A = this chain, B = another copy of it.
Amino acid sequence: MTFPELLKADAAQVQARLDAALAGHDDLPVVQAMRYALQGGKRLRAFLVLESARLHGIAPDQAISAAAAVEALHAYSLVHDDLPCMDDDDLRRGLPTVHVKWDEATAVLAGDALQTLAFELLCDPALGPADRRLALVAGLARASGAQGMVLGQALDIAAETAPAPLTLAEITRLQAGKTGALICWSAEAGALLAGADPAPLRAYARALGLAFQIADDILDVEGDEAATGKRVGKDAEAGKATFVSLLGLDQAKARAEALIAEAEAALLPYGDRAQALIAAARFVISRQS
């Protein structure tokens, strides 16, 4: 299987798991909004969970609930980030955002329930012994809370009214929280499920997460609205400091490429078994959306 085929196959599996998780729920707007928010996307985080699990000999059906959990968590963060009081976005993955299609109250509640769903999915007995599932819960809570993703988001909001644009060190810290922590958890998940040392995967994911964000900043400058499915040029418009505004386009690209080389090097201990994760790293800086 080529990398895009593998990504697509993994995405289909995680979609089926997410659909099953919401089967039998009341057909209320909040549940419809949850289903809507769980459609589409690259499913890169789910892929990292499933492939880091495979790397440790764990079959997809023993890891799928963890892959679904991180996508539910990610979906919650997008629904809340898009709210008028936050980034005020009306387009996501080429479709109206949840508060545009329904209303703000439904978007707040759907996001809340998607976060809860993420933790509920991690309790699935199919993921193995209780202590390993609990390690996943603890890790996801750390990655997404006030010292992880929410910290990054709060730093982002603070930057909007800061007297000076952020420095490179400050942006790196912001992004380590905002996107890095969840990518890190995803890549480590396979090792946690296997009770193995997650250190090589953590090193891989740290470099990958930062490269991912730099690529996002590049896409906001060079990207095509039709391909990305969201508005482009927003950062420059808002006068926001980004890796591109701080480093320039060429240096930003060079930095992203160096990080991908670093990510690949971190996977050396796994040899050939890490091919899919290496392909994911290359994909991150070549993607058009």
- Residues on A facing B (Cβ under 8 Å): 22, 25-26, 28-31, 34, 76, 80, 83, 85-86, 103-106, 108-109, 111-113, 115-117, 119-120, 122-123, 129-131, 133-134, 137-138, 140-142, 144-147, 150-151, 153-155, 157-158
Contact = CB atoms under 8 A, between A and B. Distances in A.
User: Which of A26, A137, A146, A158: most chain B Cβ within 10 A?
Assistant: A146
Contacts of A105: 83, 85-86, 157
Given A28-B158, A85-B104, A134-B134, A150 B113 contact: yes
B141 A28 contact: no
B138 A120 contact: yes
Dominant SS at the A interface?
helix
B85 A154 contact: no
A34 B113 CA distance: 19
27 contacts: A28-B151, A28-B155, A28-B158, A30-B146, A83-B105, A85-B103, A85-B104, A86-B108, A109-B150, A109-B153, A109-B154, A112-B112, A113-B146, A115-B116, A117-B145, A117-B146, A119-B119, A119-B137, A119-B140, A119-B141, A123-B134, A123-B138, A129-B130, A130-B133, A133-B134, A134-B137, A137-B137
A191 to B, nearest CB: 17
Nearest to A124: B138
Given A25-B147, A26-B146, 13 more contacts: A25-B146, A30-B150, A83-B105, A86-B108, A111-B112, A115-B116, A116-B141, A117-B146, A119-B141, A120-B141, A123-B138, A129-B130, A130-B134
A80 B145 CA distance: 16
Contacts of A151: 26, 28, 30
A76 to B, nearest CB: 8
A140 B137 CA distance: 13
How many copies of this kind of chain does the complex include? Answer: 2
Contacts of A147: 25-26
A256 B131 CA distance: 42
Contacts of A31: 146, 154
A237 B233 CA distance: 47
Contacts of A150: 30, 109, 112-113, 116
Contacts of A108: 80, 83, 85-86, 108
B134 A116 contact: no
A208 to B, nearest CB: 23
Contacts of A138: 120, 123
